[in-house]
Amino acid sequence: MKIISVVGARPNFMKIAPFIKAINTYNERHTGNKPTPSPSREGNLKNSSIIQATGSINHILVHTGQHYDDSMSKAFFEQLEIPEADINLKIGSGTHAEQVGQTMIAFEKVLKAERPDWVVVVGDVNATLACSVTAKKEWIKVCHIEAGLRSNDLTMPEEINRLVTDRISDLLLAPDTLSVENLKAEGVTDSKIRFVGNIMIDTLEANREKAEKIDIGDIIKRNYKGSEKSAVMNLNPANHDFAVITLHRPSNVDSADVLGPIVDFLTDEVAGDLLLFWPIHPRTKKMLAEFGLSEKVAQHKNIVLLEPLGYLDMLRLNMGARLILTDSGGLQEECTVLGTPCLTLRRNTERPVTLRDHGGASVLVGNKIDVIREEYHNALQSMRTPVRPELWDGHAAERCLKAILEYGS
Ligand code: UD1
């Protein structure tokens, strides 16, 4: 069987790592051989077939190149032991139409050269949409890992990506039972749906011990964005003595009317109570500069501005944080399993299983400051209560691969 799996942006990497490990384990069992890295295929598609042992899975990893900075891509490949992508489409940044269109054009060439049995896409980024549609039009079966999440908010590009991908996928692998219900309600037949659990939690469980050993002071030394002589470089806060914020959604960072008051709240209130770690996403960095807010954040003595963090450093901060403020979907899930009180700066979420109402650790606070403030004070009082939704057990990747193998080529 030949499988092409696709990644494009940061949140994809922790979803594909366990899937590739599951393929390698399968191949070792069936051939007795350790996986050998394939030669890089860039610009050499015609001569790219790998010789495969009978019965094993021929796997090709395609990176669309939507995220390309080392801190947004390479660092994750290294830490999560993802083999170098066989093919990098080098799409880069652009408008949605540019990213999706260019990915489709480039990926179609890959498909015509490789003719896989399956294309496996993960999550909800532009690569997910572009590659699933292109594969389906080439009559290649599509498997979507993390199917069925719904925010019901069509102003989110990710929701459009999810809806289209799920509508055309042959095999929909759902992370939780609410997602299974969403798919059924949309009329997807039972035979296409498998409840496999959350593959991101496989990565969390595989890296928990490694992350626990990281010293917070070292995270600052390796990632601090300010001057090396700054007093911040010598900080080493204990667990529970700090908060973490991450922001990157266009709805939070692309308008000064929204980002300005959030920055005021963080500088005037949160950073008045606690040391605040802020790993800055490139989009947010750009917008803070554009709105003249960079200095206010950078000058605050209790705000530690960091480069975008690698997986292990972020996991370590999450394990020790008193609370997290975020608009990331993945962090909501990680907070749930680790028990970190989480304020989600969004009006809705495609991951309701992570909400306190469903037993999780996260609460939706949107981007209105009075609501954020109230829930921030509630969160300061809350205890860590780790929760493990059904099948978030570290073995989702094996179930994903099993579902594909059972479906057949
Ligand atoms: C994308 C995903 C989003 C995901 C997020 C995680 C879509 C529609 N959005 O949003 O779902 O939560 O990734 O980060 O796919 N940039 C760099 N270096 C990089 C990548 C981006 O500087 O390596 C800058 C560029 O200025 C770019 C901007 O960040 O224009 C935004 O990047 P983009 O890939 O368009 O979207 P994200 O906001 O990262």
Q: Which of 9-18, 223-232, 248-257, 288-297 is predicted with the least confidence, judged by mean pLDDT? A: 223-232
pLDDT at 371 over 70: yes
Q: What is the pLDDT of residues 290-348, one digit of tens each?
A: 999 999 999 999 999 999 999 999 999 999 999 999 999 999 999 999 999 999 999 99
Q: Which residues pair with 118 in a beta bridge?
A: 3, 141
Q: What is the mean pLDDT of residues 238-263?
A: 96
Q: Pick the closest to residue 135 from 184, 49, 35, 64 (CA basis).
A: 64
The predicted pLDDT at position 51 comes to 45
> How far is 30 from 117, CA to CA, in rounded Å?
19
Start-end of H helices in 276-368: 282-290, 294-299, 311-320, 329-338
The predicted pLDDT at position 45 comes to 44
Q: Which of 27-31, 46-50, 287-291 is predicted with the least confidence, judged by mean pLDDT? A: 46-50
Two tokens, residue 261: 């008051």
| Percent of the chain residues topping a pLDDT of 90 | 90
- Residue 253: partners with Cβ closer than 8 Å, 6 or more residues away: 247, 259, 281, 283, 284, 287, 288
The predicted pLDDT at position 40 comes to 53
The closest-lying atom of ligand 1 relative to the alpha carbon of residue 161 is: 8
The predicted pLDDT at position 226 comes to 81
Catalytic residue among 63, 67, 144, 248: 248
> Best substitution site from 15, 89, 93 to test ligand 1's pocket, by max atoms within 8 Å of Cβ?
93
Q: How confident is the model at residue 145 (pLDDT cuts 50, 70, 90)?
A: very high
Q: How confident is the model at residue 30 (pLDDT cuts 50, 70, 90)?
A: confident
The predicted pLDDT at position 39 comes to 53
Between 129 and 44, the more confident residue is 129
Q: How confident is the model at residue 257 (pLDDT cuts 50, 70, 90)?
A: very high
- Compute, in angstroms, the gap from residue 125 CA to the centroid of ligand 1: 9
- CB-CB contact of 309 with 279 (8 Å): yes
Tell me if 346 CB under 6 Å of ligand 1.
no
What's the DSSP call for residue 224? B
> How far is 144 from 135, CA to CA, in rounded Å?
12
The closest-lying atom of ligand 1 relative to the alpha carbon of residue 67 is: 23
- CB-CB contact of 162 with 134 (8 Å): no
Tell me if 67 CB under 6 Å of ligand 1.
yes
> Best substitution site from 89, 246, 283, 349 to test ligand 1's pocket, by max atoms within 8 Å of Cβ?
283
Between 164 and 50, the more confident residue is 164
- CB-CB contact of 62 with 37 (8 Å): no
pLDDT at 50 over 50: no
The closest-lying atom of ligand 1 relative to the alpha carbon of residue 127 is: 15
Q: How confident is the model at residue 227 (pLDDT cuts 50, 70, 90)?
A: confident
* Shortest-distance Cα residue to atom 14 of ligand 1: 10
pLDDT at 73 over 70: yes
Instruction: Indicate the residue type of 193.
Output: I
pLDDT at 234 over 60: yes
The closest-lying atom of ligand 1 relative to the alpha carbon of residue 124 is: 11
> How far is 104 from 210, CA to CA, in rounded Å?
38
> How far is 220 from 297, CA to CA, in rounded Å?
16
Vertex 13, ends 110 and 236: CA angle to 5°?
155
Q: What is the pLDDT of residues 116-142, one digit of tens each?
A: 999 999 999 999 999 999 999 999 999
pLDDT at 47 over 70: no
> Best substitution site from 74, 125, 280 to test ligand 1's pocket, by max atoms within 8 Å of Cβ?
125
- CB-CB contact of 324 with 340 (8 Å): yes
**Which parts of 55-110 are beta strand (E)?**
58-63, 87-88
| Percent of the chain residues topping a pLDDT of 70 | 94
- Compute, in angstroms, the gap from residue 248 CA to the centroid of ligand 1: 8
In the annotation, is 63 catalytic? no
> How far is 168 from 347, CA to CA, in rounded Å?
28
pLDDT at 255 over 60: yes
The predicted pLDDT at position 35 comes to 67
Q: What is the pLDDT of residues 182-219, one digit of tens each?
A: 999 999 999 999 999 999 999 999 999 999 999 999 99
Sheet of 87-88: strand order equals 87-88, 58-63, 2-7, 118-122, 141-145, 171-174, 193-195
Start-end of H helices in 140-215: 157-168, 177-185, 199-212
- Compute, in angstroms, the gap from residue 15 CA to the centroid of ligand 1: 17
> How high does pLDDT run on average in the chain?
94
- CB-CB contact of 232 with 224 (8 Å): yes
Tell me if 11 CB under 6 Å of ligand 1.
yes
pLDDT at 154 over 50: yes
The closest-lying atom of ligand 1 relative to the alpha carbon of residue 66 is: 34
Between 143 and 53, the more confident residue is 143
The predicted pLDDT at position 409 comes to 63
